[in-house]
Structure formats: C-alpha cells, structure tokens
C-alpha cells in the first residue's frame, strides 16, 4: 500500500487557504472570520488529540478504555444535538432525548455491522469500532438535530391548530402527526441526498481516504456503500426515536399540549 505521509509543512500550506478565506470574510464584512478561525483551530487540536488517543487504543484492546472513548463521543454528540436546536426541550430532556436516541440507533447499528456484516473478532477492536461509531454518531447527530429542531419549531408555530384538533377529539399522536412526519423528512433529507449523489457528484470521504491510502477502488467503493447504508439506517432509526420521544414530551398524561416544556428561542 503506497501511503504518502503528510508533513507539518504540507498541513501549513493547506491552512493558508483557511487564512485567505478568513481575510476575505473580514474584507467583505461577513463577520465569519473569527468563527472560521476558531473552528479550524478546534478541528486541528481535536483531531490531533484523537489521533494520539487512538494510537494508544490501537496498541492495547482494553474494553474499559474503548467504552470510555465511546461514552465521551456519545456525550459530546448529545451536547451538539441540544445546541443546534432553536427551541429545545427544557431540563434534562433537552440533552437526554438526543443522547438516548443516538445510543439506541448508532450503537445498535455499529454492533450489527461489527458482529454480523464485517465479522470482527473480537467485535470491540478499536481499529474498527471507533471509526465506524464516529461516522455513525456524526451523521446520526445531524439527522436527529434537524428532526428535533423541526419538531419543536413547528409545534410552537402550529400550537393553535394542534389545540383545535385536541378539542375536536383527536388523540395527541393524531394532532401532531403531520408535524412529526415533516420532522422525520427533515432528518432524513441529508443522508438521502448524500446517497443519491454518491459517485456521481462527489466521492464520499471514506472512499476517497481509502483510495488515497492505496486501496483498490472497487474495495473502497464496497466499504463506502456499506458505511452509507449503515449511516442511513442509524439516522433513520435515531430520528424516529427522537421524534417519538420529543412529540410525546410535548403532551402530558391527559394529552394536553405543554409548550412550557420548550425553552425560548436561542439567538
């Protein structure tokens, strides 16, 4: 496998493009240069630290260390889901709905892939578990965040219509059914678009990385197809869980709409 190693100088040349983009943002008064530079710095630090941690994990297959790493990844993803919602659920539910939905979907799909599809022995080998779980959590996080944001926003804007349906005798699930369907569509659109354009408009990241690392293109395509199927399943199951939990949380035991369980809009 002919792998070309990147030097710090190579990465510095690529970083110059980010600096140029930040300068253009400043010149055009877009106000995005600070956020752009902070995001670039965060990605550099975070990826470097992850690379060091994974190097240690790959050298020793300790289930406790691997579980701790997976828990940290899930915790951060749950926080990101909560922060991306304009109107999020108040209290522990604001964090718990997203984190629980990702745990049920991403972890179960990852376990299925490692034990049934790929057949890794043992299934918790960090070389396979951590990258696969990371890709599933990242994409599932986006789908769940979009779905929950759509659910809470539409429920707030359509509160009069929901209450009118409840007064006419509809159950809570019927009163919010249309909003739930729209929320699920919002969560699934990104991965559907990614699958539809894969190989025609763009080469997905994992396939590109494997080809650059020297893998045969057909084998890289197989792995990318597997990953996209897993991501689609994880995103779909996660969005379903999140929307169901979130919509149920919007109603009390007497099936009354409780929008006081949503926090105010975030600027």
Dump pLDDT digits (tens) for 154-166: 999 998 999 999 9
Q: How far lies 206's CA from each of 15, 118, 187, 210, 257, in Å?
A: 22, 16, 22, 6, 44
CA–CA distance, 176 with 34 (Å, rounded to integer): 40
CA–CA distance, 231 with 234 (Å, rounded to integer): 5
Could you tell me if 120 and 226 lie in one domain?
A: yes
In the chain, the N- to C-terminal Cα span, in Å, equals: 49
Please count the structural domains in the chain: 2
Q: How far lies 83's CA from each of 87, 152, 216, in Å?
A: 10, 13, 40
Domain boundary among 19, 42, 59: 59
Domain that holds residue 234: 62-261
Could you tell me if 211 and 239 lie in one domain?
A: yes
Q: Is residue 80 part of a domain?
A: yes
Q: Does the N-terminal peptide bond of residue 84 adopt cis geometry, omega within 30 degrees of 0?
A: no
Q: Is residue 99 part of a domain?
A: yes
Q: Is residue 170 part of a domain?
A: yes
Could you tell me if 116 and 46 lie in one domain?
A: no
Dump pLDDT digits (tens) for 95-140: 999 999 999 999 999 999 999 988 888 888 888 888 889 889 988 9
Could you tell me if 168 and 102 lie in one domain?
A: yes
Q: Is residue 129 part of a domain?
A: yes
Could you tell me if 4 and 67 lie in one domain?
A: no
Could you tell me if 89 and 119 lie in one domain?
A: yes
Mean pLDDT rounded to a whole number for the chain: 86
For residue 240, what are the contacts with CB-CB under 8 A and spacing of at least 6?
184
CB count in 10 Å sphere of residue 242: 30
Q: Is the Cβ–Cβ distance between 111 and 129 less than 8 Å?
A: no
């Amino acid at each position: 496998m002919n792998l070309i190693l990147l030097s710090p100088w190579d990465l510095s040349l690529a970083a110059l493009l980010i600096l140029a983009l930040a300068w253009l943002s400043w010149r055009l008064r877009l106000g995005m240069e600070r956020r752009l530079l902070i995001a670039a710095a965060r990605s550099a630090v975070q990826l470097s630290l992850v690379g060091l941690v994974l190097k240690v994990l790959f050298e020793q297959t300790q289930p406790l260390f691997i579980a701790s790493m997976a828990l940290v990844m899930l915790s951060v993803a749950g926080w990101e889901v909560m922060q991306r919602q304009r109107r999020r659920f108040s209290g522990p539910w604001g964090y718990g709905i997203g984190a629980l939905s990702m745990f049920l979907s991403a972890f179960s799909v990852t376990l299925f892939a490692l034990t049934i599809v790929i057949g890794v022995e043992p299934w918790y080998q960090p070389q396979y578990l951590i990258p696969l779980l990371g890709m599933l959590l990242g994409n599932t996080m986006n789908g769940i965040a979009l779905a929950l944001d759509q659910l809470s926003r539409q429920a707030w804007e359509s509160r009069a219509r929901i209450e009118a349906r409840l007064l006419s005798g509809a159950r809570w699930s019927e009163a919010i059914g249309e909003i739930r369907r729209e929320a699920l569509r919002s969560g699934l659109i990104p991965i559907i678009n990614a699958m539809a354009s894969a190989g025609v408009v763009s080469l997905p990241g994992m396939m590109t990385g494997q080809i650059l690392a020297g893998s045969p293109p057909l084998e890289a395509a197989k792995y990318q197809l597997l990953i996209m199927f897993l991501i689609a399943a994880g995103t779909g199951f996660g969005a379903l869980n999140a929307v169901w939990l979130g919509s149920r949380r919007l109603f009390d035991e007497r099936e009354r709409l409780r929008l006081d369980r949503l926090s105010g809009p975030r600027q």
